[in-house]
Structure 1
Amino acid sequence: MKRLANWRLLFMFAVMSLLTGCGENYLSALKPAGEVAQIQYDLMKLSTAIMVGVIAVVTVIFIIVVFRFRRKSDDEMPKQVEGSHTLEILWTVIPILLLLVLAVPTVAATFKLADVSPMDKKDKNGKSEALVINVRSNLYWWEFEYPDEKIVTSQDLVVPTDEKVYFTLKASDVKHSFWIPAAGGKMDTNTDNINKFWLKFDSKSAEEAENVFYGKCAELCGPSHALMDFKVKTLPRAEFDRWVKDMQNVKKPAKPETATAQQGQEVFNKSCIGCHAVTPANTTPEKARVGPNLSNFGERERVAGILEHNKDNVKKWIKDPESYKPGNKMTGKYNLTDDEIDAVSEYLMGLKVQE
């Protein structure tokens, strides 16, 4: 029975090892989709090759020693090798060389990835020459502010491909960590300081992933940590500029198209507007940033970052958010009837910037 239990453990370990290698292009650090991810992936391959090489050499030496220098009889004493300057030099120099082979590209990559100086370069209008996005993490959702473009959105990060995008990271409540596995990272978002870094999204890889990548919180932050996801939409520069223009042209929420949606807008303005903004401008009052900005809610990829984007799931989320994301800030704030929830859901699904 003991042997059977050991085989079961071995089988489970083998299955888990195989599953850790499974992943989609948009959610795997082993399938790089940008310059940062490629640099990090190359460093992983280099360190892995060095480690495997060391293990292989040590294993060969071990096998040779076991067979060549084993005691063949009780009266025989194997040859004792000690005080060899050649051996001492070898096992001192070789590790140093291996460390240098790993350290030089690692240090070079660290300085390259830490260079965010283009963020500080301004044009004649006082705007950053590079695209800068302010990321603010919350329990359990993400806000993305484009300061020069005067846009604030939530949960769906929109970025251009084939150019560096610079990020400033800050948390509004507890420590989180911003991570887009396929693009590179990760970096902490803290409440007491701002971290900065950059990413670059490869257009070819983005096309293979249908222009959608997944981001996650990589720092244990509470009961819904595993559900703190966001989506990254990648667009060619021309399409990104068009998206920016469309967002900037929205001065007020889209007019409801049905009577039910109009009723939902009225309920929303009485119950939800205090925490959720429905305009893209970064002049949104701070109190309206307690919850995600909903100006383009109808175009999102997911409801609450985790549910399929449809009206039924919107209704489920509004009615009982605690069952989907325990510990979220929305639980217990609203006491709406089923009819009011249905109306608000229809109103939210109609909030679109681009058709």
Structure 2
Amino acid sequence: MTRPPLVITMGDPAGIGPEIVAKAFAAGKAPDCVVAGSPSVMKRAVQLAGADLAIRETASFEEGRPEPGVINVLPVSQDAECVPLGKVSAAGGRAAFEAVITAIDLAKTGRASGIVTAPINKEALFSAGLTYPGHTEILAECAGVERVAMMLANDEIRTVLVTIHLSLHDAIKSADFSAQMDAIRLAQSACLDLGIAAPRIAVAGLNPHAGEGGLFGREEIEIISPAINAARAEGIDVTGPWPGDTVFMAARRGKFDVVVAQYHDQGLIPVKYLGVETGVNITLGLPFVRTSPDHGTAFDIAGQGVADAASLSTAIAYAHRLAATRRTSEEAA
């Protein structure tokens, strides 16, 4: 069976999202993709990118048949047309949100094989009265799932987060036994979807030196180790807790396929240090595929034509790969 196209959201129209989308199409890195966004914003982006591309406004997602030299755009917002580049605005936040909601509906109903999201700006969302910390929370709410996890991946390491957009104080409280188990299980299933037949999972400790036997905290003893033991009883190859300052080096050298990190910065700093150009964000636990580039809206360079589309192109490739795996599994069932 032929898979339906992916849907790419344009992101905040004031940021680099539309530009990198245009560049991905121009480089041939966006096969079988339709953009949810504003045709006029995408026309501006094509001009910024210096690309020889035509914008085709479609009346429906299904009309967006892929064609070389053409970006099919499903219009989802009128607010985007008046948004100035490089500035936070309620109109920009609202337009970005509407594109995401449209994409979610397409993916939930099976009309799109997955979602690739260009960056949104949290301040712009809040300006529009949309109190979401980011894409992940919007996706979870609209998909009707309670537990999701973020996987950040590049060519060298992968990490799955136990907690995501929380203060460090709240993250520590939220990294309970249930959250540990969810993250470990989602890390296992994500690796299988990526074609890793026997995933080797490492769990990072929360405290320095993974607690040093209780000297620097007892979360490793009372919460994390029991979750690891329970996951091992389920047949998952998971070890730890490992010190957070060394476990990523071991993963990079090939000892582990994925690291479960306890909080946002513990997991994201190692991946982003290796370069956001090749990093990709994958949301785990959703009933559909979602990926995104590993960077933000970059308002400071918006409109200059210098944005790098490499991370978005990688996100598109991952989405195609994951969608193909899911389709194969569904057909086998």
- Please report the TM-score for the alignment, with normalisation by the length of structure 2: 0.23
- Please report the TM-score for the alignment, with normalisation by the length of structure 1: 0.22
Larger radius of gyration: 1
